[in-house]
C-alpha cells in the first residue's frame, strides 16, 4: 500500500500524536510505501495562527528514521486571502474552516497523486484534517482519521470537527472509552476501530545516571512526564507534594516535558529544592528519568490515552493517574496502578500508599509490564492499524 500520513506537527516535534504516527510509520515502512506531510517540525501551540497566517515561511523535505517528510506552508497570496477568515474564525467557524482547508488542500494535493489511502491524525483545530479529507475525496481514496479525542473537545465550539469524525471512512480510537464517546457523537460503530498507544523509550534506561546528573539524593522519586499544561495536572501534583512531604519528607518530585506559559508561571513560585523541573529532553534522558523514579504520576483531567503509562510499565514502574474515562480504560486500579480522584489530597494519599511499600510497587510494575507485552507493543499496534487499512480498502472495493 502507498500510505500518506498527514498531521500538523511531526518529529522532531514532541507530542503523543506525533510519536504515535511516527512509530506506526516505522513499523509499516518495511512492507508499505509510507510518506508524511506535515506543517511543523518544531513544538508549537499556536494551532490556528501557526498553520495559517504565521505558518513557517518555507516548506522543506527531510527524513526521520528513514521516513520521508514533506512540510507545507501557505504562499503569501493565500495568507492574505485567509486573513479576515482567520481573525474572525470563532464567529464564522464553518466558512472559515472551509477556506483554510481549501488553501491547505491545494498545497497537499501534489503529494497525494498516487496514494491508496490518507491517514490524518488530528492534534487540535488545525485545517489540515479537513484538507486531508478533501484531497482523499478528490483522489477517490479512503480517509482514515485518528482524532485523539479529548472530552473537553465538546459542544458548539467543536461541532465542525465532530462532523469530520462522522465523515471519515474509518476512525481509530485509542481506548474503549474514546470509542464510546465517538459513538455518542454520531460516528457509526462499524467505522470505529480501537488500537492503542505504545511506549517510546531508548533501548535502555539508567536511573543512577539520571540521579547523579541532577544531584538527586537517596530517597523516593515521583515523576511527571508530559507537556506542562494546567489540564495535565502539574498544579495538582505540586499541591499534593506538601502532603507527601509531611509524611515522607525525603521524596523528590521531578517534572519533565515541554514548558508552557502556565508552567513557567507556576514553577516560578516553587522554591523547594525537592522539586526538579526540566524542559523537553531527549529520548535517552526521558528513559533514564523513568528508570530513576519509584512512581510515575500524571494527574491529568483530559487524556486520549496516556502513553507515558505504558512507558513506565515497560520499565517495571507503577503509575498513578486520575479517575477519568480514558485513563480508566488503560490503568487497572489497584492492579497495575492507582486512580485517585483528581484533587491534591487524594493524589497524595495514592502516592504515599505506593511509596511506603516496595513490594507493592514491584508487583504493580510487573503487572503493567505484562500488559504492555501482551497488548501495547508497536508491532501489535501496527498490525491492528494495517488491518483497519485493509478493511476500509476492501470495503471501498
The whole-number pLDDT of residue 236 equals: 97
CA distances from 54 to 39, 40, 76 (A): 11, 11, 11
10 Å Cβ neighbour count for 255? 25
Segments in the chain below pLDDT 70: 151-157, 304, 396-397
Instruction: Map residue 31 onto helix, strand or coil.
Output: coil
Model pTM score: 0.85
Bridge partners, 2 (sequence order): 33
Query: In this predicted model, what pLDDT tens digit does every residue of 302-324 receive, in sequence order?
Result: 776 788 999 999 999 999 999 98
Phi, psi of 98 (to 5 degrees): -60, -40
* Helix runs in the chain, H state only: 16-28, 76-87, 93-108, 128-139, 159-167, 176-184, 207-214, 234-247, 261-267, 283-292, 307-314, 325-328, 344-355, 358-375, 378-396
Domains and their CATH numbers in the chain? 2-198+377-396 (3.40.50.2000), 207-375 (3.40.50.2000)
| 83 vs 314: CA distance, rounded Å | 47
Dihedral, CA of residue 93, residue 96, residue 100 and residue 106, to nearest 10: 130
Amino acid at each position: 500500500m502507498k500510505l500518506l500520513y498527514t498531521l500538523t506537527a511531526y518529529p522532531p516535534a514532541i507530542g503523543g500524536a506525533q510519536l504515535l504516527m511516527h512509530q506506526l510509520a516505522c513499523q509499516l515502512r518495511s512492507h508499505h510505501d509510507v510518506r508524511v506531510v506535515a506543517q511543523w517540525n518544531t513544538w508549537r501551540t499556536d494551532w490556528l495562527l501557526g498553520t495559517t497566517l504565521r505558518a513557517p515561511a518555507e516548506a522543506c523535505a527531510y527524513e526521520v528514521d528513514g521516513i520521508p517528510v514533506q512540510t507545507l506552508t501557505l504562499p503569501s497570496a493565500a495568507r492574505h486571502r485567509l486573513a479576515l477568515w482567520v481573525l474572525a474564525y470563532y464567529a464564522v467557524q464553518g466558512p472559515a474552516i472551509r477556506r483554510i482547508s481549501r488553501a491547505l488542500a491545494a498545497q497537499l494535493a501534489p503529494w497525494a497523486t498516487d496514494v491508496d489511502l490518507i491517514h490524518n491524525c488530528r492534534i487540535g483545530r488545525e485545517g489540515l484534517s479537513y484538507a486531508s479529507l478533501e484531497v482523499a475525496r478528490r483522489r477517490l481514496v479512503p480517509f482514515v482519521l485518528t482524532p485523539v479525542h479529548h472530552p473537553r473537545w465538546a459542544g458548539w465550539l467543536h461541532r465542525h470537527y465532530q462532523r469530520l469524525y462522522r465523515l471519515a471512512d474509518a476512525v481509530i480510537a485509542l481506548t474503549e472509552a474514546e470509542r464510546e464517546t465517538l459513538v455518542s457523537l454520531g460516528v457509526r460503530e462499524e467505522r470505529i476501530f480501537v488500537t492503542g498507544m505504545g511506549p517510546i523509550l531508548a533501548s535502555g534506561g539508567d536511573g543512577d545516571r539520571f540521579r547523579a546528573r541532577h544531584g538527586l539524593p537517596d530517597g523516593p522519586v515521583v515523576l511527571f512526564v508530559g507537556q506542562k499544561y494546567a489540564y495535565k495536572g502539574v498544579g495538582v501534583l505540586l499541591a499534593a507534594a506538601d502532603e507527601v512531604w509531611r509524611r515522607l519528607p525525603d521524596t523528590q518530585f521531578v517534572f519533565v516535558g515541554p514548558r508552557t506559559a502556565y508552567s513557567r508561571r507556576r514553577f516560578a513560585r516553587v522554591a523547594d529544592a525537592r522539586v526538579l523541573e526540566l524542559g523537553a529532553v531527549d529520548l535517552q534522558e526521558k528513559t533514564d528519568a523513568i528508570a530513576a523514579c519509584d512512581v510515575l504520576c500524571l494527574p491529568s483531567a483530559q487524556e486520549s490515552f496516556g502513553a507515558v503509562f505504558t512507558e513506565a510499565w515497560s520499565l517495571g514502574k507503577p503509575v498513578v493517574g486520575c479517575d477519568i474515562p480514558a485513563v480508566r480504560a488503560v490503568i487497572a486500579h489497584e492492579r497495575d496502578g492507582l486512580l485517585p480522584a483528581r484533587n491534591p489530597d487524594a493524589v497524595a494519599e495514592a502516592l504515599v500508599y505506593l511509596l511506603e511499600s516496595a513490594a507493592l510497587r514491584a508487583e504493580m510494575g510487573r503487572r503493567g509490564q505484562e500488559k504492555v507485552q501482551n497488548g501495547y507493543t508497536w508491532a501489535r499496534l501496527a498490525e491492528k492499524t494495517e488491518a483497519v487499512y485493509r478493511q476500509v480498502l476492501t470495503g471501498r472495493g
